[in-house]
Structure 1
């Protein structure tokens, strides 16, 4: 992707310096990258007070069976994993996926083929989600939703990174996503964040009512697409990524709330395998049922 001339203006030079630092970090050996990320995550645990509070609140809501000491240990591991995940994002942006030195264990790859039908590939916000998307798209080119960046240099960078393996689609451009699905393409989609009340149902997530998007059902029905879920897990200190493709033939069922419950249950089961690898720093329960108290 060509760099537009206006991005070379001096006002963007500080951002380009930051991009250069990102590139250098991304080129470190995998083991160094993992250890540095863990150290960075320890700094997050110590100094990122607001995000630590959000993660601690989420863990207390979702794992009430853990005592205070166990929750604190899980919180620390969670924050460390945020640092590991951050450097993994950089590696996925700047390093060709076949040069990452990762071992991929992909189970059920055949379910990613739609035989002319579009495929919605559902995932969740694990800290290594960019690696997951790149590893899938390397074998099976996939379009993906993304959030547009306010900084034009970062927008160029993210679009370039995502565009290597499919079309990056602005997260509000559902018309474009539907068109791609109707053309028989794959769409990588993450339905596990709180996007507010619009087009959402309150569905249990670890026993708590969570505003959950029903867009999965809408995309599947209007895009005439089949739906699969990717079970994700990072193993061996980041040297191995295990992905399992689970087909969801019941979606769309005609009941968007039931479809959302199906997806949330899969995500819950996935998280329980390695809870520290999930992005608990997001305010998953910020939208509350009418009359319910705020939790953050």
Structure 2
């Protein structure tokens, strides 16, 4: 039974609740309908989300220079379509019990989580299937995760409630809490593949392009006394199956955080090359540039 805090029922939040009701209706549709609506939304994103389309197109041009213009445009269309599919999948994870998602989870190498002693950092990347994959995984392997607080308290409550079913949601700046949980033997689902700025970061190669990459993976692993496992992910069969393969990164942490970051990005790149259209290219991965380099967006 869902109990809504009374302060969130104030009239000023009614427009937000109207949107939540619409999301709930969409989320309760069968998986096939959910997928088709996601495709339709993604096609709309391609036509009308000009800013995000430009970012994705720039990223694809930088990362896949070997593709011709026609091939890259086709990949861009598929990329935007997958944004819509991922959005609809996310809504389903907010409102639908895991066992009713209509999605089969295929696990490869899960023994690296089963047999782990102590805390484990499960390194993922920003694929459009991240929420549905995380929900399916969390049912068997509950994991904490970092998140960004929402300005709207209704959405904040909704997202925290959804993620709290599979582990503890931890504010992205609360490293002390994350380290404490790792030392207690918990798992932490962590996504280090976006551009978080220059602070605690270094430039490593990502598809041959220097990309500002956080060094926090090494800090978390060392201070949290945790093992590091990468999860390679892929959406299959029109969203009816999610494949997750776990790859141990036994050499992390090392005494060289930059080397560790490069090793992680190499795994992310391998994962992307298997399903490039499923990655969130709409993020400004190359926003932070090396000294003297021109802006790309």
Query: Shorter-chain TM-score: which interval?
Result: over 0.9
Please identify, of 1-10 and 173-182, the stretch whose mean Cα deviation from structure 2 is larger: 1-10
Could you tell me the TM-score, scaled by structure 1's length?
0.99
Q: Which residue of 1 aligns with 2:58?
A: 57
CA distance in 2, matches of 1:58, 1:160: 33
CA distance in 1, matches of 2:215, 2:98: 32
Please identify, of 103-112 and 173-182, the stretch whose mean Cα deviation from structure 2 is larger: 103-112
Deviation at 1:2, TM superposition (A): 3.5
Answer yes or no: is the 8 Å Cα contact 1:113–1:119 preserved in 2: no
Q: Which residue of 1 aligns with 2:72?
A: 71
CA distance in 2, matches of 1:250, 1:132: 26
Q: Which residue of 2 aligns with 1:275?
A: 276
Deviation at 1:113, TM superposition (A): 3.3
CA distance in 2, matches of 1:113, 1:107: 12
CA distance in 2, matches of 1:178, 1:2: 31
User: Over aligned residue pairs, what C-alpha RMSD do you find?
Assistant: 0.8
SS in 2 for 1:106: strand
CA distance in 1, matches of 2:236, 2:69: 27
Aligned residues: 296
CA distance in 1, matches of 2:117, 2:230: 19
Matching of residues 126-137 of structure 1 within 5 Å: 126-137=127-138
Q: Which residue of 2 aligns with 1:8?
A: 9
CA distance in 2, matches of 1:287, 1:47: 26
Q: Which residue of 2 aligns with 1:22?
A: 23
CA distance in 1, matches of 2:135, 2:174: 21
Runs (5+) with no aligned partner, structure 2: none
SS in 2 for 1:11: helix
Deviation at 1:116, TM superposition (A): 4.1
SS in 2 for 1:75: helix
CA distance in 2, matches of 1:264, 1:172: 22
CA distance in 2, matches of 1:23, 1:211: 37
- Whether 1:95 aligns to 2:96 is yes
Answer yes or no: is the 8 Å Cα contact 1:41–1:83 preserved in 2: yes
SS in 2 for 1:188: strand
Could you tell me the TM-score, scaled by structure 2's length?
0.98
CA distance in 1, matches of 2:116, 2:237: 35
Runs (5+) with no aligned partner, structure 1: none
CA distance in 1, matches of 2:125, 2:32: 25
